[in-house]
Amino acid sequence: MTLETMPLSKAMNAGLRKAMENDPKVILMGEDIGKLGGVFRVTEHLQRDFGEKRVLDTPLAESGIVGTAIGLAMTGFRPVIEIQFDGFVFPAFDQITTQLAKLTNRHEGRLSLPIVIRIPYGGHIGAVEHHQESPEAYFTHTPGLRVVSPSTPNDAYWMIQEAIASNDPVIFMEPKSRYWPKGEVELEASSAPLHASRVVRTGTDVTLVGHGAMVTTLLQAAALAEAEGTSCEVVDVRSLSPVDYEPILDSVRKTGHMVYAQEAQGFTSLGSEIAATVMERAFYALEAPVLRVSGYDTPFPPAKLEGLYLPDADRILEAVDRSLAY
Amino acid sequence: MTGHAGAGTVRDVTSSETELVRVLDQDGRFAPSPAAEQYLPLIEAISDAELEQFYRDMVVIRAIDTQATNLQRQGQLALWPPSRGQEAAQVGSGRAARTQDTIFPSYREHAVTRIRGVDPVDIIKLMRGVSHGGWDPTDPKNGNTRLYTLVLGSQVLHAAGYAMGLSFDGRSGIGDLDRDEAVVVYYGDGASSQGDVHEAMVFAASYQAPVVFFLQNNHWAISVPVTTQSRVPLVQRSAGYGIPSIRVDGNDVLASYAVSRVALDEARSGQGPRAIEAVTYRLGAHTTSDDPTKYRHTDEEDIWALRDPIVRMRTFLEGRGAAASFFDDVDAEGADAAEDLRARTVELGPPPVSRMFDHVYSDPHPLIEEQKAWQAKYEASFEGGQA
């Protein structure tokens, strides 16, 4: 094992660098990703080391970036796009959902579009409007896209390489509040395939499920619950589309209780979909309905209110208590 | 020529205030406009056989287009967007592209796609509800023709990106006209208002990509006249992005050929993107779902009918001494193509059910596989038993 400790943003950088070294067709596109290295410095020094034809500081036009990436992929490139912030992806929404997601189908399999769209997402950074959103459900709802979200530096390092190797478009949701905390990265071998969910803490009483930055909050809640005598198992979904249900179902069959937590608003959300599926497939194992803890169904509030909007360990524990009280 | 009466005091943006490249006048006489002077050596080098081919292309596609319109009226197609009236712009540019070039059509480029080798029945598949695509752009017989795009303007960005790829890969700008690749993308006056078209011009200009933006200004975006879409001639928009832009009489097949040939060769030789506004007219409806009598005057249609590109070219060829038998042969070829289209259209059955599931993703996908298996099992449950 070769372990190195680094923050998630550096792990992304290392993963991108490795993918670019391994395949000369991998190119990066985005706003300010070259000389500046991206607003989160994820692509720092990559233009210096790979040149301006492989790390493109594009014009400021998201639809243009995705649309030209489609054309580039048609000539054999594997573009990796950085959308600067979650709320800036919507100018590209038509190209993503109407073109990128459907072109393989429209070509009846004669065209693959290996394009990765990286989207830093989520709250907890105290930023202005359009900079703290969680738009993943728009993409999980769209056939033809794959959607993943790493929660640790190690997953970031490996999942970005696996996403680039995928022959399908991948929406790569980066939990931006997790960019800075450090974690160990195993540089030799990946610990899980791209589309696998994973138990990150074992427990016996309640199954806590979530994705992205919320995995950290779930682990905090589990630690607090343990002090009160409740044993929580935590599952990191990792792949938001397709979802790997078996680890979730196995856990629920053991605990009989499940809480899903997400920063996104709850109505027609990923948590809603997973809750419904768990209830369909593990109905007799459940001792309480699957509960969801989500952002409120409002626009993301001004940053001074984000602590009240985003689910925290206390709101998760409130749901744990409700579940156990059934 | 004025636009819709309702346009009021809006300046007519289709007039000749910007220099127009024209070689054949409305009556088919060889009468080059001043802007056409630089293209004359190229036009004079066109062989008699090529001239006849241009005419044949226009007549045959009009026969096919008319047949497809009829097929829709008879319930055989969900939709058909007629190309009637726009044949010269399409044939001129389509014949100007070299073998190695890549074509990004919109959804009305029936003449261009046929010239490149696409079987018109493959377009019918799209319009009959048999396929979302219709042909394989990677099959050499289809002449690097990408699929039709139904959402206006989206393909213009794909074309710009494709051209960027050609440039990055050294497939363009080497200095060999027979090997350097270029891209031509088709869109219309309506699509010219789409943001994607503008972003495509920004990207193409930034990266000096070898792409020719070929705008067919047919004067009508369904019911909205071009005078509403733009206060300036559309050719000025692309010019505003620093892209050398030319305005051509799109009902003049010779002028359309010449400006396209030059623009493509300039683009392929590393000089960056080029733009062409071909001024033409949609003689028919926007699609078979449209009713032009609700928004435009027949006197306007009558004026443009006099500028019919096929009549103009026929007059020109007759003036050069083409035999009556040539025109009869071409008409017969068109009639045969139309009959062939009808026969093969009515035989097109539904696609296999697997088509729904098999190509959503390139790599295996558990949810799709699960649903495909469930659907098969569900349908099988009806066979020989109760539902």
Residues of A in contact with B195 (CB under 8 A): 63, 91
Q: Hey, is B223 helix, strand or coil?
A: coil
The closest CB to that of B166, out of A70, A75, A242, belongs to A75
CATH of the domain at B54: 3.40.50.970
Mark whether B197 and B96 lie in a shared domain: yes
Instruction: Please tell me whether residues A179 and A202 are part of one structural domain.
Output: no
- Residue B161 to residue A68, Cβ atoms within 8 A: yes
Is there a contact between B196 and A67 if contact means CB atoms under 8 Å apart?
A: yes
Could you say which of B157, B169, B363 has the minimum Cβ distance to residue A168?
B363
My answer on whether B373 and B300 are in the same domain is no
CA within 13 Å, CB half, B252: 28
Q: Is residue A316 part of a domain?
A: yes
* B334 sits in which H/E element: helix B324-346
My answer on whether B121 and B148 are in the same domain is: yes
Q: Which of A71, A72, A110 lies nearest to residue B136, judging by beta carbons?
A: A110
Q: To which residue do tokens 């047919």 refer?
A: B218
CATH of residue A237: 3.40.50.920
* B381 in the same domain as B334: no
CA distance A317 to chain B (A): 32
Give chain A as a 3 state SS string.
Answer: CCEEEEEHHHHHHHHHHHHHHHCCCEEEEECCCCCCCCCCCCCCCHHHHHCCCCEEECCCCHHHHHHHHHHHHHCCCEEEEECCCHHHCHHHHHHHHHHHCCHHHHCCCCCCCCCEEEEEECCCCCCCCCCCCCCHHHHHCCCCCEEECCCCHHHHHHHHHHHHHCCCCEEEEEEHHHCCCEEEEECCCCCCCCCCCEEEECCCCEEEEECCCHHHHHHHHHHHHHHCCCCEEEEECCEEECCCCHHHHHHHHHHCCEEEEEEEECCCCHHHHHHHHHHHHCHHHCCCCCEEEEECCCCCCCHHHHHHHCCCHHHHHHHHHHHHCC
State the 10-residue block means of pLDDT for chain A, 326 residues long: 95 98 98 97 98 97 98 98 97 98 97 98 96 98 98 98 98 98 95 95 98 98 97 98 98 98 98 98 98 98 97 98 97
Q: Are residues A177 and A294 in the same domain?
A: no
What are the b/e assignments for B294-307, b being 16+ CB within 10 Å? eebeeebbeebeeb
Please enumerate residues of A whose Cβ is less than 8 A from a Cβ of B.
27, 53, 58-59, 61, 63-64, 66-77, 91, 94-95, 98-99, 102, 104-113, 143-144, 146, 166-168, 195, 241-242
Nearest-CA distance from A250 to chain B in Å?
18
* pLDDT less than 50: residues of chain B: 1-17, 387
One domain for residues B367 and B283: no
Segments forming the whole domain that contains residue A168: 7-186
DSSP secondary structure code for residue A302 in this structure: P
Considering its fold, how many domains does chain A have in total?
A: 2
Round to whole Å and give the CA distance between B304 and A158. Answer: 62
Shared domain for A172 and A75, answered yes or no, is yes
With a CB cutoff of 8 Å and minimum separation 6, the contacts of A111 are A74, A103, A104, B137, B138
User: Which among B133, B164, B202 has CB closest to A106?
Assistant: B133
Same domain flag for B359 and B233: no
The answer to whether residue A1 is domain-embedded is no
A184 touches A4 (CB < 8 A): yes
Tell whether the torsion through CA atoms of B309, B311, B315 and B321 is positive or negative: positive
Whether residue A211 is found in the same domain as residue A171: no
Say what the pTM is. 0.96
CATH number at residue A42: 3.40.50.970
Does a structural domain hold residue A218? yes
Q: Which structure tokens are listed for A31?
A: 């706003």
Cα–Cα distance between B75 and B202 in angstroms, integer?
A: 43
Domain boundary among A186, A215, A242: A186
Residue count of chain A, please give it.
326
Burial environment of residue A163 by CB neighbours within 10 A (0 to 12, 13 to 18, 19 or more): buried
Looking at the fold, whether A242 and A108 belong to one and the same domain comes out as: no
* DSSP single-letter state for residue B269: I
Shared domain for B274 and B365, answered yes or no, is no
Residue of B nearest to A165 (CA): B363
Are residues A169 and A202 located together in one domain of the fold?
Answer: no
- Catalytic residue numbers of A read 131
Cβ–Cβ below 8 Å for A61 and B154: no
Q: Which residues of B touch A72 (CB under 8 A)?
A: 161-162, 164-165, 168
Query: How far is residue A135's CA from residue B300's CA, in Å, rounded to a whole number?
Result: 49
Test A110 with B137 for CB contact under 8 angstroms. yes
Contact residues, chain B, for A74 at CB < 8 Å: 146, 158, 161-162, 165
Residue A152's nearest CA partner among A106, A122, A195, A184 is: A184
Domain range spanning residue B374?
353-387
Residue A319 lies in a domain: yes
The reply to whether residue A70 touches residue B157, judged by beta carbons under 8 angstroms, is: yes
Q: Which two tokens stand for residue A165?
A: 């190797």
CB contact under 8 A, B164 and A72: yes
Q: Are A160 and A231 contained in the same domain?
A: no
Total domains in chain B come to 2
Residues B81 and B134 in one domain: yes
Instruction: Based on the fold, state whether residues B236 and B360 are members of the same structural domain.
Output: no
B63 close to B334: Cβ distance less than 8 angstroms: yes
Same domain, A182 and A239: no
ipTM of this complex: 0.97
Nearest to B94 by CA among B33, B145, B158: B145
DSSP letter for each residue of A87-100: GGSGGGHHIIIIII
What whole-number distance in Å separates Cα of residue B48 and Cα of residue B322?
9
Q: Are residues A164 and A25 in the same domain?
A: yes
Suggest the residue from B168, B183, B198 to mutate for an interface test with chain A (most A CBs closer than 10 A).
B168
Instruction: For chain B, give the longest Cα–Cα distance.
Output: 78
Residue where the block lists tokens 């010449």: B258
Per the CB < 8 Å rule, is A105 touching B360? yes
Domain limit, last residue, from A165, A186, A207 = A186
Picking from A186, A209, A229, the residue at the C-terminal end of a domain is: A186
Same domain flag for B302 and B328: yes
Please list, in sequence order, all residues whose beta carbon lies within 8 angstroms of the beta carbon of residue B203, skipping any fewer than 6 positions away.
A58, A59, A61, A64, A68, B157, B160, B161, B164, B209
